[in-house]
């Protein structure tokens, strides 16, 4: 926003003087290679999936392959394996479009509206399982890319204990640059984008890896191969 940068002129003047008052010519950035756009880009979805399987193990995520006809049974089994309890889902068109049907006696949906903010956060905190659909899945790092919007806020993705990500194989991308390019062309006001690679973890303390430190304890990637 215009006028929000404080002491900008003073800072630039000091910086210019520290450099000896020499005006350097403008040199536009020239990338040294096209690898961010081309690395893995020539692989098929099945080939990318093989890479994603290896990377999923490295980020402590479980990857399950299925078909659209078996998808809902796989989701049911994963919810049961996770201990059942309260299951939270977003309120978007994704489930209807993909045929996702979550059966649970204790199912809660994300409520749309600012007035439900605290209620949604509490519901996410109290949920043992969340089922959601990412915008993309990055093969190189086994990363789901999710977008926070009216029907699925940030809490939905980070507060429940177990995370089930239902991923159509058609949403598999080689790496982050392809996803970033799509979001750059399809900007949506008010949304935030999150790149999530497996369950939360930290190795900051004495280099001892602790999984589930500040987010879901477990993430399951359900790859739906015929969607």
What pLDDT was estimated at residue 151?
Answer: 95
Tokens linked to 73: 């049974």
In a domain, residue 126? The reply is: yes
DSSP bridge partners of 143 = 138
Instruction: Give every CB contact of residue 140 below 8 A, 6+ residues apart in sequence.
Output: 39, 40, 51, 55, 174, 175, 176
Report the CATH number that the domain containing residue 188 is assigned in CATH: 3.40.50.10420
In a domain, residue 29? The reply is: no
DSSP bridge partners of 80 = none
C-beta separation of 92 from 100 below 8 A: no
Count other Cβ atoms within 10 Å, centred on residue 25.
4
Match 């199912």 to its residue by tokens: 107
C-beta separation of 100 from 167 below 8 A: no
Total of domains in the chain: 1
In a domain, residue 200? The reply is: yes
Provide the whole-model pTM.
0.83
Tokens linked to 221: 């990637």
Containing domain of residue 136, as a range?
44-224
The DSSP secondary-structure symbol of 155 reads H
Q: d(Cα 154, Cα 95) in Å, to the nearest integer?
A: 18
Q: Residue 29 — φ and ψ, nearest 5°?
A: -70, 130
Q: Which helix (H) or strand (E) holds 202?
A: strand 201-202
> Residue-wise pLDDT tens for the chain (227 aa)?
445 677 888 888 888 888 777 777 778 888 899 888 888 989 999 999 999 999 999 999 999 999 999 999 999 999 999 999 999 999 999 999 999 999 899 999 999 999 999 999 999 999 999 999 999 999 999 999 999 999 999 999 999 999 999 999 999 999 999 999 999 898 777 778 999 998 877 765 666 667 666 668 899 999 999 98
In a domain, residue 21? The reply is: no
In a domain, residue 13? The reply is: no
In a domain, residue 209? The reply is: yes
What pLDDT was estimated at residue 3?
Answer: 52
What pLDDT was estimated at residue 1?
Answer: 43
In a domain, residue 78? The reply is: yes
C-alpha distances out from residue 220 to 7, 22, 61, 93, 181, Å: 48, 56, 6, 21, 26
Q: Using DSSP, state whether 48 is helix, strand or coil.
A: helix
Q: Characterize the bridge pairing of strands 218-224 and 62-66.
A: parallel
DSSP assignments along 85-111, one per residue: S-EEE--SSHHHHHT-----TTEEEPP
In a domain, residue 101? The reply is: yes
Burial label for 162, CB within 10 Å (0-12, 13-18, 19+), is buried
């Amino acid at each position: 926003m215009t006028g929000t940068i404080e002491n900008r002129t003073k800072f630039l003047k000091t910086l210019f003087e520290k450099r000896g008052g020499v005006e350097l010519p403008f040199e536009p950035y020239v990338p040294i290679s096209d690898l961010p756009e081309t690395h893995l880009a020539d692989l098929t979805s099945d080939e990318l999936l093989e890479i994603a399987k290896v990377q999923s193990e490295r980020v402590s995520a479980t990857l399950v392959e299925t078909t659209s006809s078996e998808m809902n049974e796989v989701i049911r089994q994963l919810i049961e394996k996770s201990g059942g309890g309260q299951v939270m889902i977003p309120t978007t068109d994704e489930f209807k479009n993909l045929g996702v049907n979550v059966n649970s006696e204790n199912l809660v949906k994300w409520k749309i509206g600012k007035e439900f903010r605290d209620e949604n956060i509490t519901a996410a905190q109290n949920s043992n399982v969340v089922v959601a659909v990412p915008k993309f899945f990055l093969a190189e790092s086994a990363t789901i890319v999710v977008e926070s919007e009216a029907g699925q806020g940030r809490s939905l993705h980070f507060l429940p204990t177990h995370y089930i990500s239902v991923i159509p194989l058609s949403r598999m991308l080689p790496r982050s640059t392809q996803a970033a390019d799509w979001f750059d062309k399809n900007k949506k006001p008010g949304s935030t984008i999150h790149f999530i690679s497996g369950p939360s973890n930290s190795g900051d303390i004495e280099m001892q890896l602790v999984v589930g430190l500040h987010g879901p304890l477990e993430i399951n990637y359900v790859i739906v191969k015929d969607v």
